[in-house]
A and B are shown apart, each in its own frame.
Chain A
Amino acid sequence: QQQVKQSPQSLIVQKGGISIINCAYENTAFDYFPWYQQFPGKGPALLIAIRPDVSEKKEGRFTISFNKSAKQFSLHIMDSQPGDSATYFCAASDDGDKIIFGKGTRLHILP
């Protein structure tokens, strides 16, 4: 059973547009929600993370929105750039060590 569900599987966005990736979870014990960015040939790298005590966290062009009651969270990439083309993973954890990943979203930004 998949604990973190991620959509869409792939996404194509025009340069300058907004990229939106959505995730949902079931386990209410999760209290740490990181997003990872992975480029080909590299391992995932932490992009931004949020705890459930806040509803939004912004770092530069990247924003996480968190809806605790709906058990959903999303990543918004503003002013998307070709360099943002990568695979993005949402994830969750209840102990900060064992990270549960979504299946990933392959994002392609058109120049």
Chain B
Amino acid sequence: EAGVTQFPSHSVIEKGQTVTLRCDPISGHDNLYWYRRVMGKEIKFLLHFVKESKQDESGMPNNRFLAERTGGTYSTLKVQPAELEDSGVYFCASSHLGRGDEQYFGPGTRLTVT
């Protein structure tokens, strides 16, 4: 069974540009999560989808970040316009049942904003 996949693995963009990260969860997993780790800091929760609905987006930093999960399959996280402080590793995770069911993490996308 394929794990959670994320694309791209690395992205380097200039301040003010737009970047879209993609996450493909494990097939059949209704719950999809986005997290971010800024260098030297802890991994922080961004948001949680159940199928195509946003269940909890309390961790989204500001309105420059837009997450979507149309059709309840893959998800995208768009940053527009990117700022220097957006640099970090963005992780996606998925789980079948949610609410304490194991979250399986992807390898992450390393975003560098210059």
A: residues with CB less than 8 A from B are 2, 4, 32, 36, 41-46, 89, 93, 95-104
Report chain A residues within 8 Å CB of B101: 96
Q: Which residues of A contact B48 (CB under 8 A)?
A: 97-98
User: By the criterion CB–CB under 8 Å, are B44 and A101 in contact?
Assistant: yes
B43 within 8 A of A: yes
| Contact pick for B100, options A4, A32, A36, A44, CB 8 Å | A32
Whole-angstrom distance between the Cβ of A5 and the nearest chain B Cβ: 10
User: Is A102 in contact with B4, judged by CB distance below 8 angstroms?
Assistant: no
- Among B42, B48, B101, chain A packs the most CB atoms within 10 A around the CB of B42
> Out of A4, A32, A103, which one reaches B41, CB within 8 Å?
A103
Query: What string of 1s and 0s marks CB contacts (under 8 Å) between B54-88 and chain A?
Result: 01101100000000000000000000000000000
B105 closest partner in A (C-beta):
A43
A sample of 28 inter-chain contacts (CB < 8 A) reads A4-B42, A41-B107, A42-B107, A43-B4, A43-B93, A43-B108, A44-B43, A44-B91, A44-B105, A45-B105, A46-B102, A89-B42, A89-B43, A96-B99, A96-B100, A97-B55, A97-B98, A97-B99, A98-B48, A99-B43, A99-B45, A101-B35, A101-B42, A101-B44, A102-B42, A103-B41, A103-B42, A104-B43
Contacts of A95 in B (CB 8 A): 99
In the complex where A43-B4, A43-B91, A43-B93 touch, is A98 in contact with B102 (Cβ < 8 A)? no
